């Protein structure tokens, strides 16, 4: 990625990012509704309408800075409101926390299956850099964007740093509010957003989750018999 250049790949990546983070929040909202809390549903959050999910920083400012600034594309939508007191037990609280990540993984696996089928029929360009000026090139880039982005979003959201989903999962297993673990959680909660911004902007995020993501993509490539270089979008 070179400075402030805007490539066709980045432009195609943006609608995939928006759709994926919206589906992530719909997953939370729907799980909360099924668990007994209709707060998000009453606010219209079980909807693909982007206007009800937009977060000024995560949905507009961060992607805009990233697409022009030469750092990895990542973003988030407005968090879904959940009232744990209305959920039918602690298991639903955990289910709500994991719902968004589950949706991202489902999107990635669906795109993988479609991409594998299209490759098998010879309908996808077998190249690391498809031509974005052709229809097949665009389809290839979109499918690979869905795969790459949703896997990254799933692992990013499972980091145990508030307000990410992983922190809510971690809190679920902290039984005592007097424990050292809970005090550490409170400290992370206080500075979590700053930590996340630093991880993304400085590129340290790649060092935190990069090796694990690399292993995951190796496994996906082996299982679906797709060359590793065809699972990524190169900007």
pLDDT tens for 15-39 read 999 999 999 999 999 999 999 999 9
In this structure, of 25-34, 99-108, 179-188, the range with the lowest mean pLDDT score is 179-188
Q: Return d(Cα 104, Cα 81) in angstroms, integer.
A: 19
Whole-structure pTM value: 0.90
Is 25 among the catalytic positions?
A: yes
Nearest residue to 39 via CA among 82, 79, 97: 82
- pLDDT tier for residue 72 given thresholds of 50, 70 and 90: low
pLDDT tens-digit map of 112-163: 999 999 999 999 999 999 999 999 999 999 999 999 999 999 998 999 888 8
CB neighbour burial string for 9-32, b if at least 16 within 10 angstroms, e if fewer: bbebbbebbbbbbbbbbbbbbbbb
Catalytic residue among 25, 186, 189, 229: 25
């Amino acid at each position: 990625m070179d400075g402030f250049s805007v490539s066709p790949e980045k432009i195609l990546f943006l609608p995939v990012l928006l759709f994926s983070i919206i589906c992530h929040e719909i997953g939370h909202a729907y799980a909360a509704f099924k668990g007994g809390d209709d707060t998000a549903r009453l606010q219209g959050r079980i909807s693909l309408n982007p206007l009800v999910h937009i977060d000024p920083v995560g949905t507009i400012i961060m992607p805009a800075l990233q697409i022009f600034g030469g750092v990895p594309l990542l973003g988030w939508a407005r968090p879904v409101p959940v009232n744990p007191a209305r959920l039918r037990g602690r298991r639903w609280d955990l289910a709500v926390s994991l719902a968004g990540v589950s949706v991202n993984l489902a999107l990635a696996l669906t795109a993988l299956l479609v991409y594998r089928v299209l490759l098998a029929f010879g309908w996808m360009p077998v190249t690391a850099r498809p031509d974005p000026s052709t229809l097949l090139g665009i389809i290839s880039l979109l499918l690979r964007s869905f795969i790459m982005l949703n896997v990254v979003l799933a692992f990013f959201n499972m980091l145990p740093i508030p307000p990410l989903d992983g922190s809510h999962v971690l809190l679920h297993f902290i039984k005592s509010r007097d424990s050292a673990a809970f005090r550490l959680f409170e400290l992370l909660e206080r500075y979590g957003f700053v930590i996340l911004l630093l991880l993304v902007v400085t590129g340290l995020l790649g060092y935190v989750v990069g090796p694990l993501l690399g292993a995951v993509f190796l496994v996906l490539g082996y299982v679906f018999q797709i060359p590793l270089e065809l699972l990524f979008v190169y900007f």
